[in-house]
Structure 1
Amino acid sequence: MKSVRPILLFLLLLFSLTEGQVVLRITSLPKDTPKNAKIYMASNLNGWNPKDSLYELKRDVDGSYTTLIPSNSGTVEYKFTLGSWETAEANEKGNAIDNRTLIVSNKPSTVLQAISSWQQAKIRNNTVSPNVKILSENFAIPQLKTTRRIWIYLPQDYANSDKRYPVVYMEDGQNLFNEALSFAGEWKADETMDALADTGKQAIIVGIDNGGAERLNEYSPWENPKYGGGHGEHYADFLAQTLKPFIDKNYRTLPQPKNTALVGSSMGGLISFYTGLKYPQKFGKLGIFSPSFWFAKNDVLSYVRKNSKVIKKSKFYFLAGKKESAEMVSDIEDVVNEMVKKRISTSHIKVKIDDNGTHSEQYWSQEFGAAYLWLFAR
């Protein structure tokens, strides 16, 4: 699959020249942009790779930069970079911006863009809580023959008590705790948990970095003919068979499924949902934020039907905003309707649709606390 995917993407881009060509053209750049800068588009089409040669923009004679997007790509979330997340585009003050959004059909079009500044002009704040540690920079994932950085947040009273805690496993670990390391904004998961210190409702949080260019492959167990995928089953096995046993062995956890959650957004929401359905005896609470069900919707619905009998005790918190893609809300509704048809109790399902919700870490960070409290309510 790895050797074929670049060729397929190239052919898709080439095909778009004659069928529904969609051109992104940057017509205005910051004054401090390097003279021979290479500009890239990082998006949900390429696993948010900030330096993907297939999405390097072409510099035209007039100084503008262009790239092509395959027709019928649906809703594309993207940002421009100079080759890394440390040099991603920013607003006029040098602060990170929300993802750009474009709905791509099969109609030819040219979309003009302007970049206000690059993040290299501003050192982003280090916002990580002292309760957050890097568990490992290269934690082994034998199922995928790779390694990954793993983060862990320990409750404020962890070191001074013998108490055991529930555990929340979260995808896209780069974006959970520290603005300085995030590629799309920060969830503020540590600040949210710190705020619960006086309530006795804190949990251990385990953050798993995504695989960068392999994000789409790892976060879907099913292949999408345009965008790849297909390694998600192995990633789910890693979470259930390798990472969770390690955490339960080395930390004071409450290991039962009713005390263990998976939370993810976008493609992370897709893999969290899949993993929860595959391993309900491991993960009994699922926070599914703005899930990319579109990536393999028919497969998702089939998997719900297949696994409905074993997820009767699980709890599901679905979140979406009406300012996301056109199909986001309807996709969640279709999945939930299928669950209800299979007699999953509506008391185990919470769906929150926000009129102003966007596909962004800023939105998800605002909702994480409410989702956590609902999932772990007794």
Structure 2
Amino acid sequence: MQQNRITFLILVLIFGISCSSESTKDGITITELEERLEDISAIQDDSQRKAEADSLWKQLALEDQIPFKQDSIAIFLFKGEADQVSWNGDFNSWSGDKSFENEGSRIDGTNIWMLKAVFPPDARIDYKVTIDESWILDPVNPHYQWSGFGPNSELRMPEWKPEPLLERIPEAPKGSVTENILIKSTHLGYDVQYQVYTPVGYESLENLPVIYILDGQEYSDDKLGGTVVMLDNLIHLKKIKPVIAVFIDPRDPTDPESNRRGEEFGTNEDYNDFFTKELMPKIESDYKISAKKNDTALLGTSLGGLNTTYLGFLNPDKFGKLAIQAPAYWYKEKEIFGLVRGTEKADFDIFMSVGTINDNIPDTRMMKQEFERLDLDMNYLEVNEGHSWGAWSAQMDDILIQFYKK
């Protein structure tokens, strides 16, 4: 009995030390935060109330707790004078989803605004603070994620983990990326530009696999897709074979502000003819690649994911691997599902992913069922994120290792 009592006391002591350590590590808890805010609001003296509010704000900023995160709870916070403060982001489709209550409330007697929300504990979410009618980056949050329209602030829930291979390994040799190359398309009636990545040691290599990448100017950007860094890292670590990547840019080469992806990627037969009859033969002629379908991959996100599915199923003799991220099947729903449902037999290695937070999830799940009907090799991934390069870039190692594992 005495021995059991001693054992019990030791366990209590260990548990207490563990809890104390965890509390110190995690900083202020959500209960403490809400109590502090309530106490500050009740202070009668204006100068004392302001001093306490400033002290709390400084503590939260030092602990990287703006926004505040604990378990599955997030509290968006803003400090400043305003008539109205709200938050817009992936969680409300950037104001498109009116069912999400996005307006903040001011803590009485202070200039601190807050909005409490619940997200999966491993979620990563892009957002902006809206002050009256101005959308801004969160001025205290140091974390941000670039999009095709510029940077957004980033909410990182407690269990979310960054992808380390998006950071360049210092000793990893760099492959080569060409300047923009122009190809004159008779099928499209205009010029298209692209860049080509070749791995280190390309001169001594033959019959390399190739991955064609739609929206290539964003996939190749270190702030967005991070694909060049990922290729260099994975090849250096010997996780994948040397690969050639072709980054196709849908923008008008004479006017980068004019993006033609809406027309090109919408089940466009002329774009298909350009791709298969002009671009691919040009790449096969200019670079030491294998023309075998099982060595040829296609990658795209959003409308590019729609187009990847379209080009792949229209040309099953040319593409053996399809990487489809957050596909915007809604854009040409009847056409793309008609094409796939009309397919009785196919042989693709497929990677498909989608976010659970206001992404294109219903159609993606329906297409997953069609791929399962065809008994295709498939890696299907749902992540607790939105329609964001933060999600897509972190999957590049999964895609490349699946297709080109050494």
| TM-score range for the pair, normalised by the shorter chain length | 0.5 to 0.7
Residues 99/213 of structure 1: CA separation in 2 closer, same or farther (3 Å cut): closer
**Per-residue deviation at 1:130?**
5.6
Size of the alignment, in residue pairs? 250
Q: Distance in 2 between matches of 1:162 and 1:376?
A: 15
- Paired position in structure 2 for 1:104: none
Given candidates 189, 193, 196, the residue that maps to 1:152 is 196
Q: Distance in 2 between matches of 1:142 and 1:360?
A: 34
- Paired position in structure 2 for 1:50: none
Is 2:368 the counterpart of 1:336? yes
**Per-residue deviation at 1:307?**
2.9
Q: Distance in 2 between matches of 1:94 and 1:335?
A: 34
- Paired position in structure 2 for 1:186: 224
1:108-128 superposed Cα distances (whole Å, 9 cap, x missing partner): xxxxxxx99xxxxxxxxxx9x
- Paired position in structure 1 for 2:292: 256
**Per-residue deviation at 1:98?**
4.5
Q: Distance in 2 between matches of 1:373 and 1:265?
A: 18
**SS of aligned partner of 1:307:** coil
Q: Distance in 1 between matches of 2:288 and 2:281?
A: 12
**SS of aligned partner of 1:134:** coil
Q: Distance in 2 between matches of 1:357 and 1:78?
A: 12
**SS of aligned partner of 1:196:** helix
Q: Distance in 2 between matches of 1:323 and 1:333?
A: 14
- Paired position in structure 1 for 2:178: 133
- Paired position in structure 1 for 2:206: 163
**Does the CA contact (< 8 Å) of 1:285 and 1:316 recur in 2?**
yes
- Scaled by the length of structure 2, the TM-score of the pair is 0.55
Is 2:378 the counterpart of 1:353? no
**Does the CA contact (< 8 Å) of 2:146 and 2:224 recur in 1?**
no
**SS of aligned partner of 1:308:** coil
- Paired position in structure 1 for 2:335: 299
- Paired position in structure 2 for 1:322: 356
1:203-258 superposed Cα distances (whole Å, 9 cap, x missing partner): 1000000134422111102xxxxxxxxxx221122111111111111111011010
**Does the CA contact (< 8 Å) of 2:146 and 2:389 recur in 1?**
no
Match for 1:203: what amino acid? Answer: V
Q: Distance in 2 between matches of 1:165 and 1:91?
A: 45
1:135-172 superposed Cα distances (whole Å, 9 cap, x missing partner): 51x3212211111221100011212x133210000011
**Per-residue deviation at 1:99?**
7.3
**Per-residue deviation at 1:275?**
0.2
Q: Distance in 1 between matches of 2:401 and 2:305?
A: 18
- Paired position in structure 2 for 1:33: none
**Per-residue deviation at 1:338?**
2.3
Given candidates 340, 343, 363, the residue that maps to 2:391 is 363
- Paired position in structure 1 for 2:110: none
**Does the CA contact (< 8 Å) of 1:308 and 1:339 recur in 2?**
no
Structure 2 stretches of 5 or more lacking a match? 1-79, 81-92, 94-125, 129-134, 154-167, 169-173, 252-257
**Does the CA contact (< 8 Å) of 1:134 and 1:149 recur in 2?**
no
Is 2:247 the counterpart of 1:207? yes
**Does the CA contact (< 8 Å) of 2:241 and 2:405 recur in 1?**
no
Given candidates 169, 172, 184, the residue that maps to 2:215 is 172
**Per-residue deviation at 1:361?**
1.5
- Max radius of gyration: which structure? 2
**Does the CA contact (< 8 Å) of 1:321 and 1:357 recur in 2?**
yes
Given candidates 278, 303, 306, the residue that maps to 1:267 is 303
Match for 1:147: what amino acid? Answer: D
Q: Distance in 1 between matches of 2:279 and 2:180?
A: 11
**Does the CA contact (< 8 Å) of 2:305 and 2:326 recur in 1?**
yes
Q: Distance in 2 between matches of 1:78 and 1:150?
A: 31
**Does the CA contact (< 8 Å) of 2:148 and 2:218 recur in 1?**
no
Residues 333/238 of structure 1: CA separation in 2 closer, same or farther (3 Å cut): same
RMSD between superposed Cα atoms in Å: 3.3
Residues 281/210 of structure 1: CA separation in 2 closer, same or farther (3 Å cut): same
**Per-residue deviation at 1:175?**
0.6
Q: Distance in 2 between matches of 1:99 and 1:258?
A: 31
Structure 1 stretches of 5 or more lacking a match? 1-27, 29-43, 45-76, 80-87, 101-114, 117-126, 180-184, 222-231
Pairs within 5 Å for 1:229-244: 232-244=268-280
**Per-residue deviation at 1:78?**
11
1:243-290 superposed Cα distances (whole Å, 9 cap, x missing partner): 111111111101101000000000011111100000111111000000
**Does the CA contact (< 8 Å) of 2:293 and 2:319 recur in 1?**
yes
**Does the CA contact (< 8 Å) of 2:234 and 2:397 recur in 1?**
no
- Paired position in structure 2 for 1:313: 347
**SS of aligned partner of 1:336:** helix
**SS of aligned partner of 1:205:** strand
**Does the CA contact (< 8 Å) of 2:175 and 2:232 recur in 1?**
no
- Paired position in structure 1 for 2:263: 217
Structure with greater helix share of residues: 2
Q: Distance in 1 between matches of 2:184 and 2:127?
A: 30
Among all aligned residue pairs of Structure 1 and Structure 2, give the percentage whose two residues are the same amino acid. 25
Q: Which runs of 4+ in 1 moved over 3 A?
A: 88-100
